Amino acid sequence: MATNSGSPGRVRRGLRIPWGMLAAIAAAVALWAAASRLIPQADLYLPSPAAVWDAFVDLLRKGVLPDYVAASIRRVILATVIGLAIGVPLGVFIGINAKVADFFYPLLNFFQSLSGIAILPLVIVWFGFTERTILVAINYTVLFPVVFNVLVGVRSVPRIYVNALRTMGASRLRIIRDVLLPGALPHVATGARLGMAYGWRALIAAEMLVGANGLGFMIFNAQSFFLTNRIILGMLAIGTLWILIDRFLLRPLEADTIQRWGLVQR
């Protein structure tokens, strides 16, 4: 963030082959393959990469994997969009007034730490084993980091900017639009990224307990049939998808706003 955005290294960022990452993955797979060879009854306890590959090809051909991936991604994106739509206005509203912000701060911090998995049993009591339960749980999970970060963002906007606009005769709405929202934008990006990360974890848990599809359901269901290779395939999919979302959607988004705003703010 402190480095100059005009450096050539940054421009080529998207094109560089991540050799380091590929090497790390190769090492992990090699270790896994070796361990799988040493373990008795490996197909049950730790299937080899080849066995997991077979499961991958099988579920891809049957269309199960694409369906479940789509279901999980749809849920997390929906929750993020709803979380932002509710969380940003709410965070701004609470953040405008210092007293209101002080009042809500500990509550928001509390709920931010209480993960969606922890409230899942309660939500199941409310709505049963339904799609609604999944959505409520991950919406809850996404919402609080967003509200919390937007609140902090609004509070961190230098007071002098607000005063400058007031002396120019600006209305409250104008101050929100021209000062508080753009000033809080890097925090909005951080909130969205954290919210989605928490939401993704909560989603897998919710799908395990409640779902009839999705990656969480897939690995939990596979366990009943001792299809360990499917479990590992699901784990790989969950981790890989998150890395892709984070690397190609969230990180660039956050880096761009923070870089622009952060550099700019002094």
Partner 1 sequence: MEAKIVVKDLVHEYSDEYTGQHVRALDGVSLEVADGELVAVVGPSGCGKTTMLNILAGLVRPTSGRILVDGREVKGPGPDRGVVFQELAILPWRTVARNIGHGLEIQGVERGERERRVRQFIELVGLEGFDHKYPHELSGGMKQRVALARTLAANPVVMLMDEPFAAVDAQTRITLQEELNRIAIATRKTILLVTHNVEEAAFLGDRCFILTRRPGRVKRIVEIPIPRERRQWKTLTTDPEFTTRREQILTLVREEVRGGDE
The residues that touch partner 1, with contacts defined as CB under 8 A, are: 158, 160-161, 163-170, 174, 178-179, 182-183, 185, 260-261, 263-266
**Burial (CB count within 10 angstroms: exposed 0-12, middle 13-18, buried 19+), residue 213:** middle
At closest approach, how far in Å is the CB of 29 from partner 1?
45
Q: How far is the CB of 4 from partner 1 (least distance, A)?
A: 11
Separation of alpha carbons 265 and 76, rounded Å: 32
CB of 164 to partner 1, least distance (A): 4
Choice between 163 and 240, CB closer to partner 1: 163
Nearer Cβ to partner 1 (127/261)? 261
Rounded Cα gap, residues 158 and 32, in angstroms: 52
User: Whole-angstrom Cα distance, residue 75 to residue 130?
Assistant: 13
Q: Would you state the structure tokens that stand for residue 84, as one six-digit string? A: 């932002």
Query: Among residues 42 and 185, whose Cβ is nearest to partner 1?
Result: 185
Q: Report, in Å, the least distance between residue 152 CB and partner 1.
A: 18
Interhelix angle 181-210/131-156, nearest 10 degrees: 160
Please, which residue, 15 or 264, has the CB nearer to partner 1? Answer: 264
Q: For 122-125, which contacts have Cβ atoms below 8 Å and span 24 or more sequence positions?
A: 124/209, 124/210
Minimum separation from the CB atom of position 172 to partner 1 (A): 12
Q: Pull the structure tokens for residue 90.
A: 């709410």
Residue closer to partner 1 by CB (options 106, 169) is 169
